[in-house]
Amino acid sequence: EVQLVESGGGLVQPGGSLRLSCAASGFTFSNYWMSWVHQAPGKGLEWVANIKQDGSEKNFVDSVKGRFTISRDNAENSLYLQMNSLRAEDTAVYYCGRIFQTTGFWSGYVYWYFDLWGRGTLVTVSS
Amino acid sequence: DIQMTQSPSSLSASVGGRVTITCRASQSISSYLNWYQQKPGKAPRLLIYAASSLQSGVPSRFSGSGSGTDFTLTISSLQPEDFATYYCQQSYKIPWTFGHGTKVEIK
């Protein structure tokens, strides 16, 4: 079965650290860009970070730059998010997402979108 | 950053009715616009990519249109399982950004 399963969430104090994991199965993990997206309680979705297939390129939203690191282990079919210096506003469900790229037949443009999501893991930052 | 503005933020509709949700980008994003459906406590699900392409397995009552800055998601005949929150998302420029969502409720 094609799926993503997140783990590692929990309660952490402000200023603390947490490492999230995402286990991929049912597809060739190393062929895809991967991403983390979070959703604060009762709020909308926010993209957090992307990582290229070989880990050579990474992008982050400004609010987590310098605090969060994204990495992957293609041999283990796993994606990670190391979160340091956590703040109350980082409280959210964190989703792992697979990024699909497709080329428009007429335009030749390369389109990117999340075609597979995990069920999420909840991170709560509170004292 | 590119701001994505969805309207309305919520709407009530009847089963069988037609629903239209709009999404406006703060700058041109060509056709780099995706739509997702999310039900409470569940992960989002891709409906439409590249503004108008229907994802495999998604019912044909869902359709998307638009380019540049203005986009729409249409549900032609609302079904009970379509009551959910819908998000647009641009993948034109990092940071990728989502709209704030449109909650579709039962009338």
- pLDDT, tens digit only, all 127 positions of chain A: 999 999 999 999 999 999 999 999 999 999 999 999 999 999 999 999 999 999 999 999 999 999 999 999 999 999 999 999 999 999 999 999 999 998 887 778 889 999 999 999 999 999 9
User: What is the per-residue pLDDT across B6-17, written as a single tens digit (0 to 9) for each?
Assistant: 999 999 999 999
Instruction: Assess whether pLDDT exceeds 90 at residue B107.
Output: no
Angle at CA of residue A39, ends B75 and B59, nearest 5° = 20
Residues of A in contact with B36 (CB under 8 A): 45, 114
| Residue of B36, B43, B91 with shortest CB distance to A119 | B43
User: What is the per-residue pLDDT across B2-46, written as a single tens digit (0 to 9) for each?
Assistant: 999 999 999 999 999 999 999 999 999 999 999 999 999 999 999
Residue A90 is predicted with a pLDDT of: 98
> Hey, of A112, A115, A122, which one would you mutate to test binding to chain B, going by the most B CBs within 10 A of its CB?
A112
User: d(Cα A124, Cα A91) in Å, to the nearest integer?
Assistant: 5
Residues A100, A106, A107, A108: is their CA dihedral positive or negative? positive
| Residue of A46, A102, A112 with shortest CB distance to B98 | A46
User: What is the per-residue pLDDT across B46-56, written as a single tens digit (0 to 9) for each?
Assistant: 999 999 999 99
A89: exposed, middle or buried (Cβ count in 10 Å: 0-12, 13-18, 19+) = exposed
Residue B4: closest CA among B96, B76, B99, B85: B99
Put simply, the answer to whether A111 touches B43 (Cβ < 8 Å) is no
Residue A104 is predicted with a pLDDT of: 80
Put simply, the answer to whether B45 touches A117 (Cβ < 8 Å) is yes
Residue A28 is predicted with a pLDDT of: 98
